[in-house]
Amino acid sequence: MQNYRTILTFFISSLLVVMGLTSIYAAFFPNINFLIFEESYLQFLSLTDTGGNGKLNLLTYPLSLYLICAATCFQYLRTRQIVYLDFLILIWSVVLFSRIVSIFLRGGVDVDIYFFVGILPEFIIAPFLLFIKGKIS
């Protein structure tokens, strides 16, 4: 059981780092090359500025998810309370459900670099957290 707790701690720490970096890029560097990729944050996520309040929407909604996830990861690592793990499972289950709905409504998904670093992890995070929770409970 201790091995699973160590794996969970590493996984949640990694998730916190990714959400933190993504939050910084989304808020402060949306037009600069995103991490190791040759595209900006907005290009990498295939987001476009629609004019009007578009820039606010492109920042507000993704940043809300990133910051809620980062804060929850931080709280779990700080307290080790299972309620934070439950909340992460809820968040990522909703993201997974939303992604599945969007794939069906949009008629599929393109397999590109974003598929591997953005979409595929959404199919892994909630099931992995559920699996680990079952092992440590």
Instruction: Encode pLDDT of 120-129 as tens digits.
Output: 999 999 999 9
Return the bridge partners of 40, or none.
33
What pLDDT is recorded for position 62?
86
Q: Which of 44, 15, 20 is nearest to 32 (CA)?
A: 44
Cα-flanking dihedrals φ and ψ of residue 107, to 5°?
A: 85, 30
Residue 108 pLDDT class (50, 70, 90 cuts): confident
The verdict on pTM exceeding 0.95 is: no
Tell me what the pLDDT averaged over the chain comes to.
90
What pLDDT is recorded for position 49?
64
Residue 110 pLDDT class (50, 70, 90 cuts): confident
